[in-house]
């Protein structure tokens, strides 16, 4: 019956992903089937940790995050948890030897959101590493399936892709982060005077991350390449949309890519993959 419990917990993580992110769900579905469950498990874990600090405003977030952190490490050590998200996550951590340092860094970044509203250069880099880059590294552990040489080769591009995604999220979510939560992630940026030169400077930094990441995507194992590429092209599409808009607009509206466009991106990426252009 443990097998049934495990299957059920993995389905819970899949359900979380499907309800929270259509883009990542599409990306995961285009991975080889053997990667579906572990990547859903990673997404479910990071999504619920993020929910604690971003959503549970009427509760003691610090206490909840501490409990979540304690339960995470206990689940990994005991290789079981009654929390379905943590049970599915510990399965992946133990099967693919995901380093504790990556989990530590991620949970530390979640904790930073409880204490920091304005980030200097060092804290900005620290936060991006823990909140996004290490998530890419966790996924890379899965994709490389124990191949240490491949993991080392793709480690830096994976970090660049995670950083690009997070920085675009910061631009996309300026309205909610700054106006509703009082957070300013970009160092030295004054959002009361957010202008075009500042926006372009941020976009140039993101473009460099994308350029570095793309080289790694082309070297991913074939079963992972299409799914990661799809997430890449989705974020590139969102990035281009943000680039075309004035700074004032992204301060006032959350920018998104319509679902119909996501489907077109999926089809285009699929045919490119089938024709061996990836």
Q: How far apart are CA 145 and CA 57, in angstroms?
A: 39
Of 69, 96, 91, the C-alpha closest to 80 is: 91
Q: Along the 278 residues of the chain, how does pLDDT read in single tens digits?
A: 799 999 999 999 999 999 998 878 888 999 999 999 999 999 999 999 999 998 998 999 999 999 999 999 999 999 999 999 999 999 999 999 999 999 999 999 999 989 877 788 889 999 999 999 999 999 999 999 999 999 999 999 999 999 999 999 988 888 777 777 777 788 877 777 888 988 899 999 999 999 999 999 999 999 999 999 988 999 999 999 999 988 888 888 787 777 677 667 656 665 565 546 56
Q: At what angle do helices 148-172 and 121-128 cross, to 10 degrees?
A: 120
Check if the beta carbon of residue 85 is closer than 8 Å to that of residue 142.
Answer: no
Structure tokens at 209: 């991350």
Q: Is residue 147 within a helix (H) or strand (E), and if so which, with residue range?
A: none
DSSP codes of every residue in 215-244:
HHHTTS-HHHHHHHHHHHHHHHHHHHHHHH
Backbone φ, ψ for residue 69 (5° rounding): -65, -50
Q: What's the pLDDT score for residue 53?
A: 92
Q: Which residues lie closer than 8 Å to 186 by C-beta, 6 or more apart?
A: 119, 124, 170, 202
CATH number of this structure's domain 2-274, picked from the four choices 1.10.600.10, 1.10.3720.10, 1.10.10.10, 3.40.190.100: 1.10.600.10
DSSP codes of every residue in 176-191:
IIIIIT--B-STT--G
Q: What's the pLDDT score for residue 183?
A: 78
For 60-147, where are the alpha helices, taking DSSP H only?
61-78, 84-96, 100-115, 121-128, 134-144
């Amino acid at each position: 019956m443990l097998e049934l419990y495990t299957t059920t917990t993995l389905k819970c993580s899949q359900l979380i992903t499907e309800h929270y992110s259509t883009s990542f769900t599409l990306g995961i579905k285009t991975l080889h089937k053997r990667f579906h469950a572990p990547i859903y498990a990673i997404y479910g874990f990071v999504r619920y940790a993020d929910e604690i600090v971003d959503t549970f405003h009427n509760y003691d977030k610090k206490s909840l995050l501490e409990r979540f952190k304690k339960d995470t490490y206990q689940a990994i050590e005991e290789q079981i948890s009654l929390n379905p998200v943590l049970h599915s996550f510990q399965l992946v951590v133990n099967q693919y030897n995901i380093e504790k340092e990556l989990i530590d860094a991620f949970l530390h970044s979640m904790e930073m959101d409880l204490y920091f509203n304005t980030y200097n250069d060092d804290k900005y880099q620290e936060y991006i590493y823990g909140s996004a880059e290490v998530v890419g590294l966790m996924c890379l552990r899965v994709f490389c399936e124990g191949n240490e040489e491949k993991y080392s080769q793709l480690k830096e591009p994976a970090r660049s892709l995670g950083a690009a995604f997070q920085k675009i999220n910061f631009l996309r979510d300026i309205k909610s982060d700054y106006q509703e939560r009082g957070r300013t992630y970009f160092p030295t940026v004054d959002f009361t005077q957010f202008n075009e030169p500042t926006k372009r400077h941020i976009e140039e930094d993101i473009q460099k991350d994308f350029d570095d990441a793309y080289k790694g995507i082309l070297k991913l194992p074939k079963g992972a390449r299409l799914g990661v590429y799809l997430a890449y092209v989705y974020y590139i599409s969102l990035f281009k949309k943000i680039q075309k808009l004035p700074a004032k607009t992204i301060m006032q509206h959350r920018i998104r890519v319509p679902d119909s466009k996501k489907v077109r991106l999926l089809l285009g990426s699929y045919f490119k993959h089938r024709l061996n252009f990836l």
